[in-house]
Amino acid sequence: MKIVAFETQEQTVRVSWDDGRTEAFHHLWLRDHGASEGELHASTGERVVDFHSIPRDVRPLELGLEPDGRLRIAWSDGRETRHEGDWLRAQVYRGKDVNPEIAVPEPWRADMLERLTRFDYGQVVESEATQLQFLRRFLRDGFALLTGAPAREGEVERLAGRLGYLREICFGRLRDIRVEPSAYNIAFTDDVVRPHTDLANYAWPPGVQFLHCLVQEATGGDTRLVDGLAAAEQLRAEDPEAFQALTRVEVGFQIANDRYDVRTAAPVLTVGAEGGFRMIRFSNQARRAFSCPPELVEPFYRGYHRLSALLNDPGYQIHFRLAPGEILAMNNHRVLHARDAFDGGSGRRHLQIGSMEMDEILSRLRMLEKKVNDTGARISA
Ligand SMILES: [Fe+2]
């Protein structure tokens, strides 16, 4: 996008593009974001100028357009910066913590089931084009389903290896979900497991969980998913004070056995600097005591009560049965999963879980997107 006009004002430079839009950028911001010769490392491109060496009251002395369309500014500290029109435009303030680079999440409720599609596992592993589609869907919906994976142990590791790196946690690299005689976690029983996010007891719960179905012979044990983003936004619309209390009260979460004791205290809802939804941490089974300023107790419980009801409302959930060879990828900071009770005496049920960080997924997505952009949408298919 081409810069067509610019104007210096008291604290800002107003920039106009060829589509008629005008935005103002603060002087110091422009100077800071326009590192000039010697201020970036010659080979890595990393910033090497110390910020405090730039005068806080730095001012533009002279502005002009370069032949290539970049905005050139000569500054009062003797430096020059050059900004590209496209780059500047991409920085325009959007508010609400929206990162324009990342697919915009679309909240969903029970009718998502009608749109539920399954990606072919082999295609996602082998084809970058299909993998890109899969990752975009995953970011939009907060989950995605794969079908046709080998129903063998360790397959999640192979999938994760195509996308990035597994994150190890106290349970190990991969965790087996099946009935265990000395269960310390409700997942290892045949009881119902209500909607929850995994590993809420970690200061930073893994952002991505892969749930791989190996054996599904028992009666019952169906999977339910619910969009924590949809439920949280509903609560915010109904009761902003209660929503805010859920972002302020730090609740204890713990998972422990005779080998480890991992616990933390964190809010049920995390928002960005301007209130945009970032994370839900909801695990009734791992929830422990909390204490907070007295005035927050009532709004916290009001909000938690309503949120719990929304998350368990069938109108917000999708319900399906995982088959052997299916892998459910979940954004563990957004989508909650649940399991119906099953009859452990009626047959075996065995799943494996592996964790990743969302950073790895986003990195992979960027690399695939770059290939698309650089090659005119011709990536290996
Ligand atoms: Fe879980």
For residue 174, give both structure tokens: 């991969």
Same domain, residue pair 176 and 273:
yes
Give residue 338 CA to ligand 1 midpoint distance, Å. Answer: 7
Same domain, residue pair 184 and 238:
yes
**Closest CA relative to residue 71, chosen from 89, 98, 46:** 89
- Is residue 15 in a domain? yes
User: Per residue in 21-48, is it b (16+ CB within 10 Å) or e — as a string?
Assistant: eeeebebbebbbebbeeebeeeeeeeee
Report the pLDDT value the prediction gives residue 91, as an integer from 0 to 100.
86
> Averaged over 196-225, what is the pLDDT?
97
| Low-confidence winner among 108-122, 173-187, 367-381 (lowest mean pLDDT) | 367-381
Give residue 357 CA to ligand 1 midpoint distance, Å. Answer: 16
> Averaged over 325-349, what is the pLDDT?
95
CB atoms within 10 A of CB 264: 19
Same domain, residue pair 181 and 43:
no
Give residue 200 CA to ligand 1 midpoint distance, Å. Answer: 10
Give residue 267 CA to ligand 1 midpoint distance, Å. Answer: 19
**Own/partner long-range contacts of 102-106 (Cβ < 8 Å, ≥24 apart):** 102/139, 102/362, 103/136, 103/139, 103/140, 104/140, 105/139, 105/140, 105/141, 105/142, 105/229, 105/334, 106/140, 106/141
Give residue 353 CA to ligand 1 midpoint distance, Å. Answer: 9
- Is residue 380 in a domain? no
Give residue 197 CA to ligand 1 midpoint distance, Å. Answer: 6
> Averaged over 326-337, what is the pLDDT?
98
What are the two backbone dihedrals, phi and then psi, of residue 191, each rounded to the nearest 5 degrees? -80, 165
What is the CATH classification number for the domain harbouring 73? 3.30.2020.30
DSSP class of residue 315?
G
Same domain, residue pair 234 and 320:
yes
Give residue 119 CA to ligand 1 midpoint distance, Å. Answer: 22
The count of domains in the chain is: 2
> Averaged over 369-381, what is the pLDDT?
68
Question: What distance separates the 2 farthest-apart alpha carbons in the chain?
Answer: 80
DSSP per-residue codes, 291-304: ---HHHHHHHHHHH
Count CA atoms closer than 13 A to 346's CA, side-chain side: 10
* Distance (Å, whole) CA 256 – CA 159: 29
Whether 178 shows a pLDDT value over 80: the answer reads: yes
Whether 381 shows a pLDDT value over 50: the answer reads: no
Mean pLDDT of all residues belonging to the chain = 93
- Is residue 100 in a domain? no
Same domain, residue pair 157 and 74:
no
Same domain, residue pair 66 and 134:
no
For residue 199, give both structure tokens: 């590993």
* Distance (Å, whole) CA 359 – CA 370: 16
* Distance (Å, whole) CA 367 – CA 128: 10
**Residue 212's domain spans which residues?**
110-370
- Is residue 214 in a domain? yes
Same domain, residue pair 154 and 79:
no
pTM tops 0.85, yes or no: yes
* Distance (Å, whole) CA 275 – CA 288: 26
Same domain, residue pair 79 and 225:
no
- Is residue 96 in a domain? no
What are the two backbone dihedrals, phi and then psi, of residue 239, each rounded to the nearest 5 degrees? -150, 80
Give residue 196 CA to ligand 1 midpoint distance, Å. Answer: 6
- Is residue 95 in a domain? no
pLDDT > 70 in the chain, percent: 96
> Averaged over 243-262, what is the pLDDT?
96
